[in-house]
Structure 1
Amino acid sequence: MPIPSNVFNDAVRGFWNQRIAQRQAQELLGKIDQGNRRDVTGGKQMDGFALAITNLLLDAGISQESIHIKKSLTVLPGFFRPTKTYDFLVVSEGQFKAAIELKSHVGPSFGNNFNNRAEEAMGSALDIWTAFREGAFGNAPPPWIGYLIVLEDCPASHRPVNVSEPHFPVFEDFKNSSYAKRYELFCRKMVRERHYNAACFLMADKDRVDETPNYTEPASDLSADNFLIGLLRHVVPI
């Protein structure tokens, strides 16, 4: 089935609006978290993406009972840890079909937070595929694992960043790369190395929240269409 044009437009609008609402609510209550953390501790800024994916699967014939976004129902066994809570699951008739991680990164801090995002994603992939290999999900075919991230589109995320090379040179594609480019490379390499079946990399400028589209897709292989078509092909019965 065709993917709707600008499929994540409402999700991006909700993302920015929710961040503003969370900041205002905490200010009214006098509970201000350090730095930009106050914008994300409400935990709902990615809900619009889960809703958009849910609606797409429902339109494709997946039952509501198979789609799980409530935290208590998105828990899976791990191999290196007892369990891991994912952002979006499809479990149909007792078979684990798909899991999606929905992440975001907004400035002003991009350095350490990029490394944290990368390490978290790599660890989750290692854990879930090892658990699958060891039979944690029964005898079902391999699931589809997806990774979606929204990066703030701003001068700081596009600015080239120096790298430290005290002993050995870094790979050439990382030299003078911006954080936007690093996320693109990271997502592509994670798919190429088969840690994830597909990745979606979006950039969003908060000053364009009311435009259509209000986000960009820096790489066609990491586009929303490519990501969602891969998901549909895996979970929709032929």
Structure 2
Amino acid sequence: MALTLSNYETKTKNAVQSFWTTRSAAQQQQKKSGKSDQGERSGVTAGKNMDGFTGLFIDIIHENGLNNVEIHQKRSVLTLPGFFRPTKLWDLLVTHRGELIAAIELKSQVGPSFGNNFNNRTEEAIGTAHDLWTAYREGAFGNQPRPFVGWLMLVEDAEKSRSSVRDTSPHFPIFEEFNGTSYLQRYDLLCQKMMKEQLYTNATLIASPRTALETGSFSELSIMTGMRTFISSLAGHAAAEAVRVEE
């Protein structure tokens, strides 16, 4: 069966443009209301910034044969049980007859505080995946095949995110691949390593400048962490599940 990639390049571009547009609108609205959050936070708390990506993933799922599944997008139905904590809130869940087909997390980071946010995002992403797979092993989702678990990160393409970062480790040396890397490169390494460790079925990094508000422009750092790899993986999982669950 040939996979359908749903014109993902154009839809990704539209999703990126929507991210910046929605973020900018949220900031302007909060300024008008006199209730602006501090710094860049006002563009994050609107909560709808990544909806364009959600729409793309839903198209991929449907167009590759999974038509009779339940797609969950509302906050009230986006939680899954954890092992180290009671529940975890996801951004998109797909279920079918009581089985978990897919769970996807969508994150973004806009400057200027790339350092602290990178560390927080790293710890959160690793912890989330470890928690889910431990719960899966312990039967939280019943006796079922492994679901697709995806993580997508959109990072502002800016001077600070592309500049080399210095580290100090007085007792033991850091791994060589981190020496002199930028935060964008570190996110790329994070995505690659999380996939190699099977924490995520696919983890993807998109870099986009603020000017993408007008153009939807974005770039990728490697084939392994690019959108085509993510989309192909999700499409393949959807096609395989369509054969399995809809026989």
Q: TM-score, normalised by structure 1?
A: 0.96
Which residue matches 1:164? 168
Is the counterpart of residue 224 in structure 1 residue 236 in structure 2? Answer: no
Structure 1 unaligned spans of 5+? none
CA–CA distance in structure 2, aligned partners of residues 88 and 20 of structure 1: 23
Question: What is the 5 A alignment of 1:18-37?
Answer: 18-37=22-41
Which residue matches 1:82? 86
Summarize the Cα distance change of 1:49–1:64 in structure 2 as closer, same or farther, 3 Å threshold: farther
Write the letter of the residue equivalent to 1:62. L
Counterpart of 2:132 (choices 128, 133, 158) is 128
Write the letter of the residue equivalent to 1:28. K
Write the letter of the residue equivalent to 1:71. R
**Percentage of pairs with the same residue:** 44
Provide the secondary structure at the position in 2 that maps to 1:195.
Answer: coil
Alpha carbons 2:20, 2:212 under 8 Å: kept: no
Structure 2 unaligned spans of 5+? none
Provide the secondary structure at the position in 2 that maps to 1:183.
Answer: helix
* 1:206-238, Cα deviation, whole Å (9 max, x unpaired): 213333x61111110111111111112123323
* 1:155-206, Cα deviation, whole Å (9 max, x unpaired): 1110000001211111111111100100000000000111111111111112
Question: What is the 5 A alignment of 1:85-100?
Answer: 85-100=89-104
CA–CA distance in structure 1, aligned partners of residues 15 and 60 of structure 2: 13
CA–CA distance in structure 2, aligned partners of residues 40 and 105 of structure 1: 9
Root mean square deviation of aligned Cα? 1.3
Which residue matches 1:235? 238
CA–CA distance in structure 2, aligned partners of residues 20 and 35 of structure 1: 13
* 1:69-107, Cα deviation, whole Å (9 max, x unpaired): 111111111111111110111101211111111000110
Write the letter of the residue equivalent to 2:53. F
Q: Kindly indicate whether structure 1 or structure 2 has the higher relative contact order, using CA contacts under 8 Å at least 6 residues apart.
A: 2
Write the letter of the residue equivalent to 1:156. K
Which residue matches 1:47? 51
Which residue matches 1:114? 118
Which residue matches 1:214? 217
Q: TM-score, normalised by structure 2?
A: 0.92
Cα drift, residue 37 of structure 1: 0.7
Write the letter of the residue equivalent to 2:226. S
